[in-house]
Amino acid sequence: MLNFAVGPVQMAPEILQVGAQPVPYFRTGEFSALMKENERLLVEFAGAGEGSRAVCLTGSGTAGMEAMVVNFLDASDKVLVIDGGGFGHRFVELCRIHRIRTEVLQLHYGEILTEKHLEAYEGAGCTAFLVNLHETSTGVLYDARLIHSFCERNGMMLLVDSISSFLADPFSMEELGVDVMMTSSQKTLALPPGLAVLVLSARAVRKAERTDCGCMYLDLKLALKDGERGQTPFTPAVGILLQLHERLKELERKGVEAETAHIRMIAEDFRRRIVKLPFTLASTSMSNAATPVHPLHGSAKRIFEILKDEYEIWVCPNGGDLADEIFRVGHMGNLTIEDNTALLKALADMERRGLL
Amino acid sequence: MLNFAVGPVQMAPEILQVGAQPVPYFRTGEFSALMKENERLLVEFAGAGEGSRAVCLTGSGTAGMEAMVVNFLDASDKVLVIDGGGFGHRFVELCRIHRIRTEVLQLHYGEILTEKHLEAYEGAGCTAFLVNLHETSTGVLYDARLIHSFCERNGMMLLVDSISSFLADPFSMEELGVDVMMTSSQKTLALPPGLAVLVLSARAVRKAERTDCGCMYLDLKLALKDGERGQTPFTPAVGILLQLHERLKELERKGVEAETAHIRMIAEDFRRRIVKLPFTLASTSMSNAATPVHPLHGSAKRIFEILKDEYEIWVCPNGGDLADEIFRVGHMGNLTIEDNTALLKALADMERRGLL
């Protein structure tokens, strides 16, 4: 299968090779050294400043999102949450569950965040900003510089889920004043799902250390402490951590900028060519990570099914109300221009067959 | 490396083979069918009764333990917890964090649970019993029949972490009146770590459905609901779930009893032969899963290090106070009598070298 999903994405042969190896016992100096190197590279690639730390939780991206809410927010906070799609709404729900006071900035589907939206919240006493930088459900990439200057002006912590934006779009925690960023293993890291990665600024580390998070499994205090010696409080997904190491070393060799440039090149090539077919792009502010595509004729979900069953290609269906309106094409992972050509050929063939 | 750790354990070539495959996109009918089959087989192998369900959480065993505490216990409960080692103590901590009323039955290291211990809690108004059936940290296997009859007499729910006992020791939820059992992927399932598996009786399903668990990621209501169509609320560890499927199909072919008999045979062979060397067994009530070994001379931790560095063999060191006193030898996973021979030869060689 050719994989254009937005996660899990197409994996490189070297990573699959590591997946074929026996999983080692991990309470060893060897594994600790590998974990320390993983942390060092994650901090570096996230552009995090002095005193920053990285931790890997064994879990889905949602475990990472919930860890952000419970470790960096407490009863003293009021958090501004951008609810512009399924994942933004999940943050709102998480704050509700954990009784964190919120101001919810609701955007309609595909809407871009502007200065005007934020005006209403200037000086409104919010202490933190919670956002999915790339709202993966709609494909909208928010303006990180706009958010940064708003947070700086208002003295707010900035917590970003950059789950499918990290490595796909230029990103630097220090430049953008980000206190916590989160991603997960199955997006641009192009590994199997099972790890949520959090990178914390020095300020975020201090906040986590004084927050009673109320959940042992998601308690970053424990993870930070054991991380000092390259270990984890609970048995981690050792196999995926080994694959992460392989991937980070590859990124170190090739450079993060080169990876981002590659994803952008794949995305731009696809976007240039798809509009010759009966589709429109469903967003005007896109991450390089994925393109939301609206078919002019026929059901998006049906197109996903036909591509899967008859062409051995995965694109990514949308859930909910938009299932028939939009599918997404991911550009992360081990994809080439030739892979784009194969997808576009399949779609052209479907058009010829009267299926589009 | 030859792996006698208590997790991750030695994996079979067929499982590694699956680990070498690309991870598929999972919001598909194909993956749902596989998940439904996983659930059916887990319920069957756990000997769970009519109306039982199984869910897989992406996380460590501790995520599964915390899910047990937050989904099946609430303010109306008082739970009797057996604190006989590191994992029992973790349950006590989890109950404290989530404000569940407890009675703690404290056992000293390696102590066996008896009728006498339980007498004090007869008619004491406890509503649930929480126990690590095999306290992996000390190697003690508790008497499940004793616990069962106590729970039945006192009308208590029985929640067991059978993390390294499931498949290693004869176990049937229905026969033992178990409401919830939990295991994780890296023990007798012999997969990479990253999944916690919970099997729920019909009564436990009802309890979870009316409990407000206060944590989105660990909320089994969501997992049970999406599980009805073979899906998960959040992106799961798809790769490990595929490996789980391969493993469960293998167990279906060979039979659970044959697997348990194999582990017992490996354990008994090892226990028969180790006592010819300067070691004693550190428990009189052992699971087939692992043997806690006490060296008569020298540090257990040092023996672990030498086996690793000079013989390419992993055994499992103990943490904390017992680090120098005890190491554990696991019998789970893809191990043979010849592997035992290799370990015993290495130890005999160390004795010859004056290291034991």
User: pLDDT tens digits, chain B, 356 residues: what are they?
Assistant: 999 999 999 999 999 999 999 999 999 999 999 999 999 999 999 999 999 999 999 999 999 999 999 999 999 999 999 999 999 999 999 999 999 999 999 999 889 999 999 999 999 999 999 999 998 888 899 999 999 999 999 999 999 999 888 999 999 999 999 999 999 999 999 999 999 999 999 999 999 999 999 999 999 999 999 999 999 999 999 999 999 999 999 999 999 999 999 999 999 999 999 989 999 998 889 999 999 999 999 999 999 999 999 999 999 999 888 899 999 999 999 999 999 999 999 999 999 999 99
Q: What percent of chain A has pLDDT over 90?
A: 94
Which A residues in the span 214-253 are in contact with B, Cβ-Cβ below 8 Å?
214-218, 233-240
Report the chain A residue with the minimal C-alpha distance to residue B26. A8
CB-nearest partner of A308 from B16, B28, B234: B28
Between A303 and A109, residue with greater pLDDT: A303
Residue A321 reports pLDDT greater than 90 = no
User: Closest to A215 (Cβ–Cβ): which among B22, B28, B66?
Assistant: B66
CA distance B316 to B323: 10
Q: Is A17 on the interface with B (CB under 8 A)?
A: yes
For residue B60, list chain A residues with Cβ-Cβ distance below 8 A: 58, 217, 234-236
A24 in contact with B, Cβ within 8 Å: yes
Choose the mutation target among A11, A26, A58 for the interface with B, i.e. most B CBs under 10 Å: A58
The structure tokens 């900028």 sit at: A257
Secondary structure of chain B: what % helix, strand, coil (to 5)? Answer: 40, 20, 40
Residues of B in contact with A234 (CB under 8 A): 60-63
pLDDT in tens, A97-153: 999 999 999 999 889 999 999 999 999 999 999 999 998 888 899 999 999 999 999
Residues of chain B in contact with residue A8, where contact means CB-CB under 8 angstroms, are 23-26, 235, 238-239
Within 8 A of B24 by CB-CB distance, chain A residues are: 1, 3, 8, 314
Establish if B16 touches chain A: CB-CB under 8 angstroms.
yes
Give A285-300 pLDDT, tens digit per residue.
999 999 999 999 999 9
Predicted pLDDT at A109: 85
Give the number of C-alpha atoms closer than 13 A to the C-alpha of residue B135, restricted to the C-beta side. 29
B66 with A97: Cβ contact below 8 A: no
Chain A residues in contact with B93 (beta carbon < 8 A): 216
Contact between A61 and A82 under an 8 Å Cβ cutoff? The reply is no
Instruction: Out of B16, B21, B235, name the one closest to residue A186 (CB).
Output: B235
Task: List, as ranges, residues 253-282 from A with C-beta within 8 Å of B.
Answer: none
Asked if the C-beta of A28 comes within 8 angstroms of chain B's C-beta atoms, the answer is yes
Cβ neighbours of A11 in B, within 8 Å: 22-23
- Phi first, then psi: what are they for A324, rounded to 5°? -90, -15
Q: Apex CA B317: angle with CA B314 and CA B321, to 5°? A: 170
Q: Which single residue is written with the structure tokens 């019909």? A: B202
pLDDT at residue A167, as a whole number: 96
Enter the DSSP assignment of B255.
-
In the stretch 34-73 of chain B, residues with CB closer than 8 A to chain A read 58-63, 66
Q: How would you label A17-56 residue by residue, b for 16+ Cβ within 10 Å and e otherwise? A: ebbeebbbbbebeebbebbeebbebbbbbbbbbeebbbbb
Supply the ipTM of this predicted assembly.
0.97
Residue of A nearest to B319 (CA): A27
Q: Residue A308: closest CA among chain B residues belongs to which residue? A: B28
For the four alpha carbons of B131, B133, B136 and B137, in that order, the dihedral sign comes to positive
Dist CA B155 CA B142 (whole Å): 20
pLDDT at A283 over 90: no
Q: Hey, are the CB atoms on A193 and B217 less than 8 Å from each other?
A: no
Nearest CA in chain B to A67: B217
* Chain-centre distance for alpha carbon B266: 18
- Chain A, nearest residue to B4 by Cα: A25
CA atoms within 13 A on the CB side of B315: 29
Closest Cβ–Cβ partner in B11, B22, B236 for A60: B236
Residues of A in contact with B231 (CB under 8 A): none
B58/A194 touch (CB, cutoff 8 Å), yes or no: yes
- Distance between CA atoms of A153 and A42, rounded to whole angstroms? 28
Residue A71's pLDDT is what? 98
| A193 vs B5, B235, B308: nearest CB | B235
* Closest C-alpha among B228, B229, B184 to residue B205: B228
Q: What is the distance in angstroms between the Cα of B279 and the nearest Cα belonging to chain A?
A: 23
- Across the interface, which of A3, A193, A215 has its CB nearest the CB of B215? A215
The pTM assigned to this predicted structure is 0.97
Across residues A52-74, what is the average pLDDT? 98
Predicted pLDDT at A139: 86
Among A23, A66, A239, select the one facing B217 at the smallest CB separation: A66
- A57, A60, A244, A309: best to mutate for the B interface, most B CBs within 10 A: A60
Judged by CB atoms closer than 8 Å, whether chains meet at A25 and B16 is answered as: no
CB-nearest to B1 from A24, A218, A239 is A24
Q: Which of B6, B15, B58 to mutate to test the interface with A (most CBs of A within 10 A)?
A: B58
Higher pLDDT, A163 or A245: A245
pLDDT at A319: 83
Give residue A322's pLDDT band: very low, low, confident or very high (50, 70, 90): confident
Contact B217/A214, CB-based, under 8 Å? no
> Shortest CB distance from B10 goes to which of A22, A93, A235?
A22
